[in-house]
């Protein structure tokens, strides 16, 4: 299998992992198979979140501008709070997409930069 397939599998596995984590905390979670506008929609007691999920074993990754735009537009229409859920260097972090900087056609997510603006899972579910 090509490299793209391995990357897709890693991302899909992270989506399922996050879905299960949220469900254990009492969230109702829907996974949007096929990467439409968002990967996951989660809600609990009136709080609704949408997630774009990314996973990497590297120090950084690029997220295409279109992925973020779809997340923001869908979240606005749905009345949800958008997050980019990133599994990076074995940590799971949640980033407000409005805090990222566009660099050419992608958003750069660097572990050293995002750790100060990202939320942990415990902070997210509080």
Q: Which of 7, 32, 35, 60 is catalytic?
A: 35
75 catalytic per annotation: no
Rounded CA separation 84/94 (Å): 6
Contacts of 85 (CB under 8 A, 6+ apart): 14, 18, 39, 40, 51, 52, 53, 54, 92, 93, 94
Active-site residues, by number, are 35
């Amino acid at each position: 299998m090509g490299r793209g397939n391995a990357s897709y599998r890693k991302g899909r596995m992270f989506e399922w992992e996050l879905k299960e984590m949220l469900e254990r905390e009492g969230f109702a979670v829907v996974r949007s198979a096929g990467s439409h506008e968002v990967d996951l929609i989660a809600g609990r007691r009136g709080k609704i979140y949408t997630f774009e999920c990314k996973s990497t074993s590297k120090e950084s990754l690029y997220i295409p501008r279109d992925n973020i735009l779809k997340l923001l537009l869908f979240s606005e229409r749905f009345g949800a709070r958008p997050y980019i859920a990133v599994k990076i260097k074995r940590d799971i972090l949640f980033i407000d997409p409005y805090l990222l900087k566009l660099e050419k056609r992608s958003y750069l997510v660097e572990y050293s930069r995002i750790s100060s603006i990202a939320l942990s899972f415990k902070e997210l579910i509080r």
